[in-house]
Structure 1
Amino acid sequence: MHRKMTITLDEEVYEGLYRTVGKRRMSQFIEDLVRPHVLATSLDEGYRAMAADVAREAEAQEWCNGLAGDMANEAR
């Protein structure tokens, strides 16, 4: 569901937005910019993407295991 909203922009900003994305695409452009700042789902999606990166996860696991080993040696 969409809600209508009125916003005020500096004239130069509006003209630049109009030139860049066009009159019929401004709302979607602004929504795409604002969405990650107001919805927590972007973090969840980012964490899912990182977890799906097998090479990154293997490197992170290796780093964690090395750190745990260092801590075990430090305690002695």
Structure 2
Amino acid sequence: MATFISQVFVLSLIVIFGIATIAMTTTARKAVTLLLLYMIFTKPLTKRHELGLLLISIGIILKMLPDTKPSPRVQG
């Protein structure tokens, strides 16, 4: 039942905000969950874990930046 409710919730958010925003949000949630699990259960973070978290964070930040594509010129 919880899975069904969460799927309906995610699909509703996709309709409102779009798939890219929801994909970034779920990825960020997973990264934060992993970081919290490592902090709560005191597992040591290796260099590979730190690198993975850094890459995920950079990807999310880059996706949040506005597009800076130049507008096409109209020739006439």
TM surpasses 0.5? no
Q: Which gives a bigger RCO, structure 1 or 2 (Cα 8 Å, sep 6+)?
A: 2
The structure whose Rg is larger is 1
| Greater helix fraction, Structure 1 or Structure 2 | 1
Q: TM-score, normalized by length of structure 2?
A: 0.34
Q: TM-score, normalized by length of structure 1?
A: 0.34
